[in-house]
């Protein structure tokens, strides 16, 4: 795998797992079973945002480590 793509793939896999775990915990313990489609969409939007945010953070961390 190329030197540019390797940190990105590692960050995406780690962030995907962390986003899944955070999403699961928030949806299971914090957000109750949705009563309407809007509530369901809001929960999925929050989960997607958390996954994307974790992806960006993990990529930046792995990028910083690979530069040093």
Q: For residues 16 and 39, what is the distance between their CA atoms, to the nearest angstrom?
A: 23
Task: Render each residue's pLDDT in the chain as its tens digit; 68 residues.
Answer: 566 667 777 777 777 787 778 777 777 787 777 788 887 787 777 777 777 777 777 778 877 777 66
Number of domains the chain is built from? 1
pLDDT at position 26 is: 75
As a residue count, the chain comes to 68
Tokens for 39, please give them: 């509530």
User: Could you write out the DSSP letters of every residue in 3-59?
Assistant: TTHHHHHHHHHHHHHHHHHHHHHIIIIIS---SSHHHHHHHHHHHHHHHHHHHHHHH
Domain hosting 60: range is: 5-67
């Amino acid at each position: 795998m190329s030197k540019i793509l390797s940190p990105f793939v590692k960050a995406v896999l780690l962030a995907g797992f962390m986003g899944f775990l955070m999403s699961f915990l928030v949806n299971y313990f914090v957000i109750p079973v949705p009563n309407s489609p809007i509530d369901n969409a809001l929960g999925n939007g929050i989960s997607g945002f958390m996954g994307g945010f974790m992806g960006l953070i993990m990529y930046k961390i792995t990028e910083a480590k690979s530069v040093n």
